[in-house]
Amino acid sequence: MSKQILILPGDGIGPEIVAEAVKVLVCLRDDFGLALDIYEALLGGSAYDEHGHPLPEETLRLAHDCDAVLLGAVGGPKWEPLDISVRPEKGLLGLRSELGLFANLRPAILFPQLADASTLKPEVVSGLDILIVRELTGGIYFGRPRGVETLDSGERRGINTLVYTESEIERICRVAFDLAGKRSKRVCSVDKANVLECTELWREVATRVGTDYPDIELSHMYVDNAAMQLVRAPKQFDVVVTTNMFGDILSDCAAQLTGSIGMLPSASLNAEEKGMYEPIHGSAPDIAGRGVANPLAAILSVAMMLRYTLGEPVQADRVERAVAAALDQRLRTADIAAKGTETVGTARMGDAVVAALREIGD
Ligand code: NAD
């Protein structure tokens, strides 16, 4: 039976990079016989412009009906003046929440060809392979009360609430332990248990879940130390599990270790392993419309989709090998350009990956 894929290009560079990822999906469908039906819908600012809401009902219905969603990115200065309830990011958070996508997998892998593109010394980052498992539907991004209120004095006060239930912590920790079992069997749980009661509970639950996984080594680290350790000695980490906000911040930091945020894909999974796949970067308004954005994070998101939702690990490997082959040809988008390489635009990079995919064959 065909798998149903929903494409949400989004805003800014979203449509540019997603177009290249779609080329890869179409190549897998037309040249290699993968049974895929591909649909497209609006999300974010483009959806607001068309329908007055960043998450239109039609998009939500398609997302529920499809097996997997591929998203570019949403947001941009054009929509910043809007009320927060209809800002593009609200559409994305709403979609994650509606689909129950609580587990966000963010690998930070350094392609050997890009060791020079990192701002860290090659010996610190070469061979880097970290998996950050970020809780995605709870924590301070969703907690209530929230908002900005005016006190009797006339002064305004902003409020957000960090909240996690034991079951929310337990299920994300289980995802991390299960994944660590297929890797080097180490989980580091990141919290701020010394000052935040909510993450004291996080540490307690992580420890309890850990007793069900005797072959996995569990360590705990405060988030401030984790940020420092990530740039000091990143290879000490294997699987990192953490809250929504800490994971958001640490994964951008980990991204830079790999040379560019334009290289990193992500998967957001629900309990049935239905997934939304997206680059970890945003809509990059500073370079949007110029055809220079790096499409590799979006293409690597397709590889994650093949691996985690479509049950096609061999095809996933092939896509990743095709990306490596394009880098071997010394082709680089501007964000990863280095001496002795050829700087190419978004479409040329996508075409090179598709050509490599065809060359690799079955
Ligand atoms: P950003 O990730 O869009 O950009 C940060 C920097 O990285 C910019 O200099 C940008 O040019 C560069 N960059 C990002 N992706 C790149 C790529 N593929 N190739 C080359 N360079 C790339 O983050 P930001 O500037 O903080 O946010 C811009 C907008 O994106 C905001 O509206 C923000 O809310 C939104 N955003 C959306 C998502 C999402 O949709 N998941 C995530 C983060 C930010």
DSSP 162: -
Residues 148 and 229 in one domain: yes
- pLDDT, tens only, 105-135: 999 999 999 888 788 998 999 999 999 999 9
| Per-residue pLDDT, 261 | 87
**pLDDT, position 51:** 97
- Same domain (yes/no): 254, 331: no
Question: Worst-scoring range by mean pLDDT, 6-15, 50-59, 118-127, 315-324?
Answer: 118-127
Contact of 206 with 169, CB cutoff 8 Å: yes
Report, as an integer, the average pLDDT of 85-106: 95
Same domain, 16 and 68: yes
Name the nearest CA neighbour of 23 among 304, 353, 254. 353
Same domain, 63 and 146: no
Tokens at 24, concatenated:
């890869």
Q: What's at 120, amino acid-wise?
A: L
What does the mean pLDDT of the chain come to?
Answer: 96
* 116 shares a domain with 244: yes
User: Quick one: DSSP state of residue 257?
Assistant: H
Pair 22, 55 in one domain: yes
pLDDT surpasses 90 at 260: no
Distances (CA, A) of 284 to 52, 117, 211: 23, 19, 43
- Please give all residues whose beta carbon lies within 6 A of any atom in ligand 1, as ranges: 13, 17, 73-76, 89, 92, 261-262, 278, 281-287, 293-294, 297, 335
pLDDT tier at 87, thresholds 50, 70, 90: very high
Q: How many distinct structural domains can be found in the chain?
A: 2
Contact 314, 107 (CB under 8 A): no
Q: What pLDDT, on the 0 to 100 scale, is given for residue 252?
A: 87
Pairing verdict, β 331-332 and 186-191: unpaired
Residues 245 and 276 in one domain: no
Q: Domain boundary residue among 265, 283, 301? A: 265
Among 101, 114, 281, 299, residue to substitute to test ligand 1 (most atoms within 8 Å of Cβ): 281
Ligand 1 centroid – CA 284 distance (Å): 4
What's the pLDDT at 118?
83
Nearest to 350 by CA among 302, 283, 313, 286: 302
Q: Mean pLDDT lowest for which of 10-19, 117-126, 156-165, 172-181?
A: 117-126
Q: What is the mean pLDDT of residues 36-61?
A: 98
Q: Which amino acid is residue 237, in one-letter code?
A: F
Tell me the residue type at 62: L
**Residue where a domain stops, chosen among 226, 245, 265:** 265
Residues 255 and 328 in one domain: no
How close is the Cα of 281 to the center of ligand 1, in Å?
5
Containing structural domain, residue 340? 1-102+270-362
Helix-then-strand count for the chain, H and E:
12, 14
Q: pTM here?
A: 0.91
